[in-house]
Amino acid sequence: MTSSNGEVTAVKILIVDDEAINRTLLTNMLYSAGYKHCIEAVNGEEAIQHFIEEQPDLILLDVVMPGLSGFDVAVQIRQLAKGPYLPILFITALEDNESLVRCLEVGGNDFATKPFDRHILTAKIRAHLKIRALSEHVEQQNQRLRLFNQRVAREHAIVEHIFSHAIVNRPEVLSHFDCFLKPAETFNGDLFLCEASPSGGVYFVVGDFTGHGLASAIGALPVTQAFQELSHQGVSIAEIICELNRILITFLPSDMFMAAVVGEINAEGNRVNLWQGGMPAVIIPAKTDMSLRTITSRHMALGIVDEHELNTDCDAIRLGPNEQLIICSDGLIEIANDKGEMLLEEGLIDIIKDQMQTHEKIEADSLFLRAKAHCGAASFHDDVTLVVFTAKPINIPVSQKFDDGLPSVHDIALDAKHLKQPDILQRVLQLAGQCEGIQSIRSIIYTVLSELFNNALEHGILKLDSKLKADSSGFQQYYENREASLQVLNQGRINIRVESVPSDGKVLISVEDSGDGFEWGGGRKFSTACTTQEESYGRGLPLIHALCERIWFEKGGSKVVCLIDTQS
> What's the CATH code of the domain at 202?
3.60.40.10
431/514 same-domain check: yes
Neighbouring C-alpha atoms within 13 Å toward the C-beta of 473: 0
Of the residues 138, 155, 189, the one at which a domain ends: 138
Inside any domain, residue 431: yes
Inside any domain, residue 187: yes
> So what's the pLDDT on residue 523?
42
Inside any domain, residue 202: yes
The span from the CA of 27 to the CA of 35, in Å, is 9
> So what's the pLDDT on residue 378?
59
Q: The domain that contains 464 carries what CATH number?
A: 3.30.565.10
355/249 same-domain check: yes
Inside any domain, residue 185: yes
382/265 same-domain check: yes
What is the DSSP annotation of 36-77? --EEEESSHHHHHHHHHHH--SEEEEES--SSS-HHHHHHHH
Q: Per-block average pLDDT, block size 10, for the chain (568 residues)?
A: 53 93 92 92 94 93 91 93 90 80 88 85 93 90 90 76 76 95 75 91 93 73 91 88 93 88 94 94 86 91 90 89 94 86 91 90 92 73 90 82 74 93 83 78 84 90 81 75 90 93 89 82 42 45 82 90 84
Of the residues 391, 422, 454, the one at which a domain ends: 391
How many Cβ atoms from other residues are within 10 Å of residue 561's Cβ? 17
120/212 same-domain check: no
Q: The domain that contains 96 carries what CATH number?
A: 3.40.50.2300
Inside any domain, residue 258: yes
State how many domains the chain has. 3
Q: Residue 516 carries which DSSP code?
A: -
> So what's the pLDDT on residue 533?
40
From 227, 209, 228, select the one nearest 219 (Cα to Cα): 209
The domain of 40 spans 12-138
The span from the CA of 222 to the CA of 212, in Å, is 17
Of the residues 93, 123, 138, the one at which a domain ends: 138
Phi then psi for residue 361, to 5 deg, are -160, 165
223/356 same-domain check: yes
Inside any domain, residue 273: yes
**CB-based contact 391:362 (threshold 8 Å):** no
From 173, 167, 158, select the one nearest 189 (Cα to Cα): 167
Sequence-ordered list of residues with C-beta below 8 angstroms from that of 119, at least 6 positions apart, any chain: none
Inside any domain, residue 48: yes
92/215 same-domain check: no
The span from the CA of 168 to the CA of 546, in Å, is 33
90/207 same-domain check: no
Please give the distance of CA 246 from its chain centroid, rounded to a whole number: 18
**CB-based contact 453:484 (threshold 8 Å):** no
| Pairing mode, strands 493-501 and 506-513 | antiparallel
482/423 same-domain check: yes
**CB-based contact 368:182 (threshold 8 Å):** yes
The span from the CA of 525 to the CA of 520, in Å, is 10
